[in-house]
C-alpha cells in the first residue's frame, strides 16, 4: 500500500469520525432512546447501530476492497481492516453522561496505521498517522513528562471479562504505589487523554481491539508507550493493555503487570 493510500484513508477517517459522532449525538439524552443489553453492563443503543451503519456505508463507498471489524457488526481479520467502535462509552451515553467517542482505526499488514477518535460533546477530534504525529483538532499533542507516580493520574478501566478480585488487586496496588486512579467509562477517550497529557496512563485487564486500536497509534505517535496489544490473538480476542507517559512506563508496567491474564503471554512495551 502506498503512502498516498494511507493518507487518503487518514483524511477520510477524520471526516468520518466527526460525521458518525454527529449522527450518534442526535440521540444523546433522548428519553425515547432504545437501549438493549448485550450482556451484563453492556448496552447497545439505536445510536450505536445507526452510527455503525453509517460508518460501514461510507467505507464501502470509498474503499470497497477494505474490510471492517466492528463492535456492533463484527467482522473477520483482513489485511486491510477498519477497526471501528461507533460509540465507545456506550454506558455513559445511555445514561446521559457526556463522555463517549467514535473510534475508527485502519490496520494494515498487522499494524495500526492511523486512528481517529471524536468526542462530539467537547468537539475534540484526536487523530494520528503512523510516523506522522498525533493531533488534537489539528494541533500537535504530546504525552505528559510526569515521572513520579505520586504526581500521576491514571485510569484503570474495569472489564467484566476478568475476575473482580484481579481488578480490586490492580487498583489497590496502583493506589499503594501513589497513583491517583479513576474509572470513567471510555477506553478510547482515556487513551486520547494519555496522548495529549491530560492523564499519565491507562490500564485495563481486558479490552477489545475496537476499544483501543485508534488510541494505541495516538499514544505511540504522541511519544507515549503501549503494551503489545496485538500480540497473540489480540485483534480478535482482545488483550490486556497498558498505555503510559514515557517516563512512567516501566513503573506502571511493573505495578499493573502482576495482574496480567493469562500470565504466560508476553507483554513487551512498545516505543
Ligand atoms: C467499553 C469502554 C470502557 C471499558 C470497557 C469497554 P464500550 O467500551 O471502553 O471504558 O472499560 O472495557 O468495553 O462498550 O462502551 O464500547
Query: How many angstroms is it from 30 CA to the middle of ligand 1?
Result: 21
Ligand 1 probe mutation, 35, 186, 213, 240, most atoms within 8 A of CB: 186
Query: How many angstroms is it from 5 CA to the middle of ligand 1?
Result: 30
Burial class (CB in 10 A: 0-12, 13-18, 19+), 60: exposed
Give residue 45's pLDDT.
Answer: 87
Query: How many angstroms is it from 268 CA to the middle of ligand 1?
Result: 23
pLDDT per residue rounded down to tens, the chain (271 residues):
899 999 999 999 999 999 999 999 999 998 788 888 888 888 888 999 999 999 999 999 999 999 999 999 999 999 999 999 999 999 999 999 999 999 999 999 999 999 999 999 999 999 999 999 999 999 999 999 999 999 999 999 998 889 999 999 999 999 999 999 999 999 999 999 999 999 999 999 999 999 999 999 999 999 999 999 999 999 999 999 999 999 999 999 988 876 554 444 444 455 4
Name all domains of the chain by residue range, CATH numbers in brackets: 3-140 (3.30.540.10), 149-270 (3.40.190.80)
Whose cell is 425515547? That residue is 32
Pocket of ligand 1 (CB under 6 A): 71, 85, 88-91, 157-159, 185-187, 204, 207, 211
The closest-lying atom of ligand 1 relative to the alpha carbon of residue 42 is 14
What is the grid cell recorded at 142? 504530546
Q: pTM score, two decimals?
A: 0.94
Residue by residue, DSSP assigns the chain as --HHHHHHHHHHHHHHHHHHHHHHHTTTT-TT--EEEEETTEEEEHHHHHHHHHHHHHHHHH-TT-EEEETTTB----SEEEEEEEEE-HHHHHTT-S--EEEEEEEETTEEEEEEEEETTTTEEEEEETTTEEEETTEE--------GGG-EEEEE--TTS-HHHHHHHHHHHHHTT-EEE--S-HHHHHHHHHTTSSSEEEEEEE-HHHHHHHHHHHHHTT-EEE-TTSTTHHHH-EEEEEE-GGGHHHHHHHHHTT-SSTTS--PEE-
Amino acid at each position: 500500500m502506498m503512502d498516498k493510500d494511507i493518507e487518503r484513508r487518514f483524511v477520510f477517517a477524520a471526516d468520518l469520525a466527526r460525521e458518525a459522532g454527529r449522527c450518534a449525538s442526535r440521540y444523546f439524552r433522548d428519553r425515547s432512546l432504545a437501549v438493549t443489553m448485550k450482556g451484563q453492563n453492556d448496552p447497545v443503543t439505536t445510536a450505536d447501530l445507526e452510527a455503525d451503519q453509517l460508518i460501514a456505508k461510507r467505507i464501502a463507498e470509498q474503499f470497497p476492497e477494505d474490510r471492517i471489524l466492528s463492535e456492533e457488526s463484527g467482522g473477520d481479520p483482513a489485511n486491510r481492516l477498519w477497526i471501528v467502535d461507533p460509540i465507545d462509552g456506550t454506558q455513559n451515553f445511555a445514561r446521559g453522561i457526556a463522555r463517549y467517542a467514535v473510534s475508527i482505526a485502519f490496520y494494515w499488514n498487522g499494524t495500526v496505521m492511523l486512528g481517529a477518535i471524536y468526542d462530539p460533546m467537547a468537539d475534540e477530534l484526536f487523530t494520528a498517522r503512523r510516523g506522522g504525529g498525533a493531533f488534537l483538532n489539528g494541533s500537535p499533542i504530546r504525552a505528559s513528562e510526569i515521572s513520579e507516580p505520586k504526581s500521576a493520574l491514571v485510569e484503570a478501566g474495569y472489564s467484566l471479562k476478568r475476575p473482580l478480585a484481579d481488578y480490586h488487586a490492580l487498583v489497590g496496588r496502583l493506589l499503594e504505589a501513589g497513583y491517583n486512579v479513576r474509572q470513567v467509562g471510555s477506553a478510547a477517550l482515556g487513551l486520547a487523554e494519555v496522548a495529549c497529557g491530560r492523564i499519565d496512563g491507562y490500564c485495563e485487564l481486558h479490552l477489545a481491539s475496537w476499544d483501543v486500536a485508534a488510541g494505541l497509534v495516538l499514544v505511540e505517535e504522541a511519544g507515549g508507550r503501549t503494551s503489545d496489544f496485538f500480540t497473540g490473538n489480540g485483534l480478535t480476542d482482545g488483550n490486556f493493555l497498558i498505555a503510559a507517559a514515557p517516563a512512567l512506563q516501566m513503573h506502571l508496567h511493573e505495578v499493573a503487570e502482576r495482574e496480567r491474564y493469562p500470565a504466560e503471554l508476553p507483554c513487551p512495551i512498545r516505543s
